[in-house]
Amino acid sequence: MEQHNPKTGSAALRILIVEDDVLNTKLFRRLLQLEGFETLAAGTAEAGIALAIKAQPDCILMDIQLPGMDGLEATRRLRGLPKTADIPIIALAAHAMVGDDHLTYEAGCRGYISKPVDPRTFADSIGKFIAGATKRNG
Ligand code: MN
């Protein structure tokens, strides 16, 4: 599946992973890279926001439970910044939070994936999500 990043001219779509669990980050990066995505990662909300501004990823995977500033607040801030307002954000949340997913949509997330993720469908569902988000943005 050949995908193209219209902003960077790169052949691959870039995904920013904001996640404090190092093993999760490793797993997500591996699954996405196997499908041809470029990945970037940050372990805190603050670092994630800074990297999103600088790197202009095609999509952000946002862990909701982060130390300090949580993923909901980080999403609100990204939505409020001109440079990141249009980047689609997918919330990543533990099963215990299912049912609270409306909170993530209220904060400005456009998608929701519960953890632990299904390695067989993870990268594909993110690809489909980006394709859908791009269509909606024209
Ligand atoms: Mn976490």
Each residue's pLDDT tens digit, 93-128: 986 665 678 888 899 999 999 899 999 999 999 999
| H or E element, residue 31 | helix 22-34
Each residue's pLDDT tens digit, 64-102: 999 999 999 999 999 999 999 999 999 999 866 656 788
Q: Using CA atoms, how far apart are residues 8 and 113, in angstroms rounded to an integer?
A: 26
pTM of the model: 0.89
Please give the domain boundaries of the chain with CATH numbers for all domains.
14-123 (3.40.50.2300)
Q: How far is the CA of 130 from the centre of ligand 1 (A)?
A: 23
Q: Using CA atoms in the order 82, 102, 124, 30, what is the torsion angle rounded to 10 degrees?
A: 80
Q: How far is the CA of 127 from the centre of ligand 1 (A)?
A: 22
Q: How far is the CA of 75 from the centre of ligand 1 (A)?
A: 14
